[in-house]
Amino acid sequence: MFGEWLRLLWRRIVNDAPQLRQRVAQIDGGELTEIASAYPYSDVFPSARPSAVVYTTKNDAASRLFASEDFELPVGMVARYGLPQDEDMAGIASIICDFPVYFLGDCDPFDLLVFAWLRQHLSIRFLGTSDAVVAALGVDVNDRITIPLPKEEQRAMSLVREVWPEFANSVGPNLARLLDSNRKLELEALVSFHKNPISNLLHLLRGTA
């Protein structure tokens, strides 16, 4: 009985990933599933063994958020915009090895869907953008630093709620309300408007381990 349940669960996991990709492709205007496929991956690791790996959709902004004063990254980082291809996952898994992996992207429907897709393939934790990240960096979230959701992303929110119904628990109540008001917060705003030391983000990362 248990073996049959496990077999059915594995079949569901295998089938759900391509199904989610197809559904994203119906609403993203090709941005996540077609245009992004031309973007190369970037992976950067420090000389010392890192404590964790961050998977991000925005290499430059994420690097600036984590880099120390001497521009060293204390974590490993794998970066690429959009949904990875299924065939990319074996290579990504070989890079991250047995490190704990965290997702860092914009607080918008498209990046939330990227995380929802990734967690079907990897053991990955959601770091942000979230209320916790905003608080750690001391960012005052207001209309001046947030952006209205375009129509494609407004439509994408219904898919986020369907495939990841508990997303607000990870994003946090404040940013969940921001999304409900059809606005988003991008990583570049955190880089530009943080008031607390960048090192706080690393402390937060360690605290979620």
Contacts of 98 (CB under 8 A, 6+ apart): none
- Quote the pTM value: 0.86
Q: What is the pLDDT of residues 26-37, one digit of tens each?
A: 888 888 888 777
3 state DSSP class of 79 = strand
Contacts of 20 (CB under 8 A, 6+ apart): 113, 116, 117, 120, 163
User: What is the residue-averaged pLDDT of the chain?
Assistant: 86
Q: What residues of the chain score a pLDDT lower than 70? A: 1-18, 68-71, 207-209
Question: Are the C-beta atoms of residues 83 and 114 closer than 8 Å to each other?
Answer: yes
What radius of gyration do the chain's Cα atoms show?
17
Distance CA 10, CA 38 (A): 30
Amino acid found at 196: N
Q: What is the pLDDT of residues 84-103, one digit of tens each?
A: 888 888 888 888 888 999 99
CATH class of 2-207: alpha beta
pLDDT for the residue 17: 56
